[in-house]
A and B are shown apart, each in its own frame.
With several copies, the nearest count.
Chain A
Amino acid sequence: MATGNLGIRIGIVLAALAAAAVLVALYLVFFVAPLEATMGIVQKIFYFHVGSAINMTVAFGVCALAGATYLVSRPMSARVASIADAVGIATAEVGVMLGAIVMVTGPLWAKVAWGTYWTWEPRLTLSLMVFLLFIAYLALRAYAGTDRFGRGVAAGLSILGLPGIYFIRVAVERWGGAHPQVVYKGGLTHPGMRQAFFASVIAMLLVTATLVLLRALIERRRQQVDALFLEIDRTTG
Chain B
Amino acid sequence: MPGRTVELRAERVVRVAGRRHILRDVSLAAASGDLVAVLGRNGAGKTTLLSVLAGRQVPDGGRVVLTIDGRIASGTAVRAATAMLPHDLLIYPDLTARENLAFFMTLAGQAPDAGQIASVLDRIGLARDADRVVRQFSRGMQQRAALGRLLVSGADVWILDEPTTGLDEVGRRWLLGLLSDQVRSGRLVLMSSHHPSEVASCATRTLVLESGRVVLDGPGGADGAAAAFTRMDGGAP
Contacts and interface: CB of A to CB of B under 8 A. Distances in A.
Nearest to A229: B19
B20 A237 contact: yes
A226 interface: yes
B18 A234 contact: no
Nearest to B58: A148
Contacts of B25: 234
Interface in B23-79: 24-25, 58, 60
Interface in B184-222: 211-212
Contacts of B14: 234
B21 A230 contact: yes
A237 B14 CA distance: 13
Interface string A207-237: 0000000000000000000100110011001
Contact of B24 (A146, A226, A237): A237
A230 B58 contact: no
Interface string B169-195: 000000000000000000000000000
Contacts of A237: 20-21, 24, 211-212
Interface in A68-126: none
A191 interface: no
Size band of the interface chain B makes with A: 10 to 19
Main secondary structure of the interface of A (DSSP, over half): helix
B16 interface: yes
A177 interface: no
A146 B18 contact: yes
B235 to A, nearest CB: 15
A162 to B, nearest CB: 27
A145 interface: yes
Nearest to A235: B24
Residue of A148, A226, A237 with highest tally of chain B CB at under 10 A: A237
A234 B22 CA distance: 10
B211 A145 contact: no
A229 B16 CA distance: 11
A25 B21 CA distance: 51
A146 B24 CA distance: 18
A229 B58 CA distance: 20
Interface string A140-159: 00000110100000000000
A230 B211 CA distance: 14
A226 B212 CA distance: 18
B21 A233 contact: yes
Contacts of B19: 226, 229-230, 233
Nearest to A78: B61
A230 B58 CA distance: 17
Contacts of B58: 148
Interface in A178-203: none
A58 B211 CA distance: 47
B13 to A, nearest CB: 12
Contacts of A230: 16, 19, 21
Residue of A146, A229, A230, A237 with highest tally of chain B CB at under 10 A: A230
Contacts of A148: 58, 60
6 pairs of A and B residues whose beta carbons are closest in the complex: A229-B19, A233-B21, A234-B24, A234-B21, A230-B16, A233-B20
Given A226-B19, A234-B25, 14 more contacts: A145-B18, A146-B18, A148-B58, A148-B60, A229-B19, A230-B16, A230-B19, A230-B21, A233-B21, A234-B21, A234-B24, A237-B20, A237-B21, A237-B211
Interface of A: 145-146, 148, 226, 229-230, 233-234, 237
21 contacts: A145-B18, A146-B18, A148-B58, A148-B60, A226-B19, A229-B19, A230-B16, A230-B19, A230-B21, A233-B19, A233-B20, A233-B21, A234-B14, A234-B21, A234-B24, A234-B25, A237-B20, A237-B21, A237-B24, A237-B211, A237-B212
